[in-house]
Amino acid sequence: MTEHPSPASPATSGSSGFDERLSVPWWWYLLAAFVAVLLGAEIHMGYPGIRSWIGYVILIPLFVGALFWLGRTRIRVADGRLQVGAAVVPLRHTGRVEIVHKAAKQEALGPELDPTAYLMHRGWIRSLVRVELTDPDDPTPYWIFSVRHPEQLLTALGR
């Protein structure tokens, strides 16, 4: 893990410094379509006529849509706020920021994980970032979330 201490005055500027969509790898769509076609073929073999195509019509969009839904999460630093999915925190309430690399990921998500922390993990992304929250009214001690470019996020956070 790489620790980056909080500066004396955190960055709260209104400029957009970071925007990343945590989409799934492109080849997952090919795999999902293949599995959907395979399952559709099972249905196709069991029914004659127009009903034979219903498996393809339902399963292919369902599988591809599920992958699109999995990969729609965005990480943003803009307008003095950090947004991870639907969760938002003002940058003035962020403290210490740590990059959790692949080697330390299991420890960070296992024995070190506080059950009251906000967690947004995507297994296909190797690194995590842990952001300490300093808001006394927020019971969440920190956020830990997946991000592909943690160094760029730290720069956008002003660390």
Residue count of the chain, please give it. 159
Structure confidence by residue, pLDDT tens digits, 16-28 = 589 999 999 999 9
H or E segment to which residue 77 belongs = strand 74-78
**pLDDT-based confidence at 46, cuts 50/70/90?**
confident
Mean pLDDT of 98-123: 93
Distances (CA, A) of 5 to 23, 63, 89, 105, 158: 29, 43, 18, 20, 11
pLDDT given at position 16: 56
CB 159 within 8 A of CB 4: yes
Nearest to 87 by CA among 22, 134, 145, 150: 145
pLDDT given at position 159: 72
Mean pLDDT of 138-143: 94
Q: What's the whole-model pTM score?
A: 0.77
pLDDT given at position 38: 95
DSSP state of 127: -
